[in-house]
Structure 1
Amino acid sequence: MQSPKCVQNAQTQHGDASSVDVENIFLHRFMLSMSTSTSAILGSNDTATDPADNTDPPVMLSEEKPVVAHLPEKRKAKTSDDESNVKKVKLDANGLKTKRPGFNDERYEETSYYFENGLRKVYPYFFTFTTFAKGRWVDEKILDVFVREFRAAPPEEYERSLEAGKLTVNYEKVPKDYRIKHNDLLANVVHRHEVPVTSQPIKVVFMDKDIVVVNKPASIPVHPCGRYRHNTVVFILAKEHNLKNLRTIHRLDRLTSGLLLFGRTAEKARALELQIRTRQVQKEYVCRVEGRFPDGIVECNEKIDVVSYKIGVCKVSPKGKDCKTTFQKIGEVGDESIVLCKPLTGRMHQIRVHLQFLGYPISNDPLYNHEVFGPLKGRGGDIGGITQEQLITNLITIHNAENWLGLEGEQVAPTEIKGELKTTSVVEVPIEATKPMISATNEPINEASTQTCYEEPDRSFDFKKATSDPHCSECKVNYRDPGAKDLIMFLHAWKYRGVDWEYKTELPDWACKSTINYDHL
């Protein structure tokens, strides 16, 4: 049996939950009925799932807008089982209309932060991912489903989880040959390790009763996604500034810094979302690009198409959506240029893709300034004469070798790139070295301290607050800390101007090193 703490942590990918949060389960079933995506559910770490990076996210609950709707009838699986043998989980939609966004205090108190080597880190903690059985899984063995659908862990790990009661059905232990039934609730307890982010503080630019405007440091995702949960803007603001139940109005890529707006009321959030959607908001970004950018205003109207939602990559294509960005050089740093960017549309990675097309990619862009797009790095739309399918294959290969698509710290097999063998920087350590905290029943104990908005993060690692699991593969590996090049991209959301409002931040250090021509600003 799993520990009571593990059971309390049960929830879907987003939102609050108690032991089994019926509101979230109700919503989650609705979302699952609308999608066939299975990526990154139950702790899968083999896809890039950072919405801040504009990749295809896993199926999860919306924290912003509660759903009050007549649910479509769930697709019936073809099975010979009688209805009387089908397990059904009782659902309750009471309170759905008053459901607020965000998380409850129990979610914020799952674990705490500590600072080390200029990074904000999270003590590993136990967490439970849940999902309802999909129609195509019905009457299949649970172990076969997990091995096929969720490849983040080897088959023997799922088998061990079933035997230990960490992988359950309707919160009951089942054998590995158990056959899934319609409406079964699958839960998987994992020992979760989050990726470090910068220790730079999130500065509040403006705040009143309706809105919070912050200056987001690079490397911090906006909200929980993939391998990030507590190391996100919404969790940090809640735990260190007591700013909870914020409504996301827009997003920034994880590596992009700058202005980020949150609504404190539903009315304000809807009003600002409408202004952005109807293009009433003027956005100004500052970036640093390779080469001497041309003088004057440069306009790019190339259409942008998504190459792959799974890995979150776009390129210029006549099949894409209409897109427009204007650029103007405002300074220089050596052989590089500081450029003011004004996107008139809001496509995924718009500024980065247009700069790549123009031949002046952001100088440290880990994706669009890369030879995976061909010898010209995608300049003028030239990707080296390969097909889009081959481009996707190459992108995945480079991702596995260089680890820059949002899954820092993932263990991967060595990959051959241009004759040179590359792999991630990991070091295997014996399981005994992790000193797991185990109960008398040989189960891990979650003794990690909690953190509320009234507590400061630890200034160094405290071994007493650490947890470990003897069967956790990540506990057996020492990952290198990300360096500066892994945390910063030279793109900053500088100014936003809407109807009767305007906010701006200070320029980042990498832009201040140049002589800015303020006559253009």
Structure 2
Amino acid sequence: MPSPLPVRDGVGATRLHVPLRGPWPTIADYMAERFFHLDPERLRVRFDRGEIVARDGRPLPRDTPLGAEEFVWYYREPPVEKDIPFEIEILHQDADLVVVDKPHFLPTTPGGKYLQNSALVRLRNLLGVPELTPIHRLDRATAGLLMFSVRPQTRGAYQLLFENREVQKVYEAVSTRPADWDDARPALAGHPLPLVYRNHIVKHRSQVCVQVDETREPNAETLIELLGSDERVIHTLLRPHSGRMHQLRVHLAALGAGILHDGFYPVLLPEAPDDFARPLQLLARELRFTDPLSGAERVFTTRRRLQEAPAAD
């Protein structure tokens, strides 16, 4: 559903679904309850200023009755953001694709307390392309390759590549060296490397971490290979066959090789401010696919390096 409001400062308007029936006399009353953490009068003043609009772009007054509109649009009020002091590097740009090296700590898209400090908004402002849209996503904690679509006319062709698992993705990770590690016979949890690890990952809406259900058929699969090791760490190459949330972090943690500086797995740590000196040691290293428009083979490789990787690698 197209937005009636243009992109502003790199940020698109937010669309809100409004129930057509309910105990709220007006749309403003519903929004005041929905966004209970906001000052309700300040929200109603936004109606008075014409900042809440209908599908046709028409400003809605604060007394608009519930049921008059099923969707409304508005711009999020920008949060007070802590700067993320790392830059995006553009690796490729053409009429249809932008490929970048995303730094650690930078989210792919706006959300929560991050708005201008997101890869999407930074790139829209930098390139002057308000239609720019991510074709896939990386966790905020993960660095590396990220692809964006430039034009709506060709976006679907590239999105289908990911939906149909036609993009070969390669990651690398650095983990603490397991206590039973043997350089002569590298193995994780008794499984010689390289190995294919599978399990069933479930994401519950109310939980931050994903869960593993050992009773169900696997829905997540990763090929794990060894790149190197030293007396401190092991450095692995990861080829996910599926794309479940936090899959690589969960798989390495399950094998006793949780990724360095991971605050989620194997144990969820209390929320703390970002420590820019200790980024998660996970990197999206390579993307490889057949271009759906030209038929050419496309290969993109990160220029970043994990800071904890063994020096000999």
Aligned residues: 285
CA distance in 1, matches of 2:154, 2:27: 45
Aligned to 1:355: 252
Aligned to 2:133: 247
8 Å CA contact retained: 1:287, 1:340? yes
CA distance in 1, matches of 2:109, 2:77: 20
1:319-342 CA-partner distances (Å, limit 9, x unpaired) = 365221011221235422111111
8 Å CA contact retained: 1:237, 1:244? no
User: Are 1:498 and 2:289 counterparts?
Assistant: yes
User: Are 1:220 and 2:106 counterparts?
Assistant: yes
| 1:21-420 alignment, distance < 5 Å | 21=5, 103-104=6-7, 107-108=8-9, 131=16, 133-140=18-25, 145=30, 148-153=33-38, 157-158=39-40, 160-161=41-42, 165-166=45-46, 171-173=60-62, 180-183=65-68, 191-266=77-152, 268-292=154-178, 294-295=186-187, 296-306=193-203, 308-317=204-213, 318-319=215-216, 322-332=219-229, 334-370=231-267, 372=268, 402-403=270-271
1:192-249 CA-partner distances (Å, limit 9, x unpaired) = 3243353222111122222211101111112222332222112211212334422322
8 Å CA contact retained: 2:144, 2:302? yes
Aligned to 1:468: none
Q: Structure 1 residue 147: deviation in Å?
A: 6.1
Aligned to 1:68: none
CA distance in 2, matches of 1:274, 1:310: 29
Aligned to 2:311: 514
Structure with bigger strand share is 2
Structure 1 vs Structure 2 CA RMSD: 3.4
1:245-284 CA-partner distances (Å, limit 9, x unpaired) = 2232211111111011122234643333333222222211
TM-score relative to the length of structure 2: 0.76
Distance 1:161 1:362, change over 3 A: same
Structure with bigger helix share is 1
Consecutive unaligned residues in structure 2, runs of 5 or more:
53-58, 188-192, 291-296
Greater RCO (Cα-Cα under 8 Å, separation 6 or more): 1
1:37-63 CA-partner distances (Å, limit 9, x unpaired) = xxxxxxxxxxxxxxxxxxxxxxxxxxx
Q: Aligned letter for 2:9?
A: Y
8 Å CA contact retained: 2:79, 2:115? no
Distance 1:190 1:203, change over 3 A: closer
8 Å CA contact retained: 1:287, 1:511? no
8 Å CA contact retained: 1:166, 1:189? no
Is the partner of 1:227 in helix, strand or coil? coil
Aligned to 1:80: none
Percent identical among aligned pairs is: 22
8 Å CA contact retained: 2:104, 2:280? yes
Distance 1:15 1:221, change over 3 A: farther
CA distance in 2, matches of 1:312, 1:189: 26
Q: Structure 1 residue 171: deviation in Å?
A: 3.6
8 Å CA contact retained: 2:21, 2:66? no
Is the partner of 1:503 in helix, strand or coil? strand
Rg (Cα) greater in structure = 1
Distance 1:15 1:196, change over 3 A: farther
Consecutive unaligned residues in structure 1, runs of 5 or more:
1-13, 22-102, 111-126, 373-397, 409-481, 517-521
Aligned to 1:383: none
1:419-442 CA-partner distances (Å, limit 9, x unpaired) = xxxxxxxxxxxxxxxxxxxxxxxx
CA distance in 1, matches of 2:19, 2:305: 47
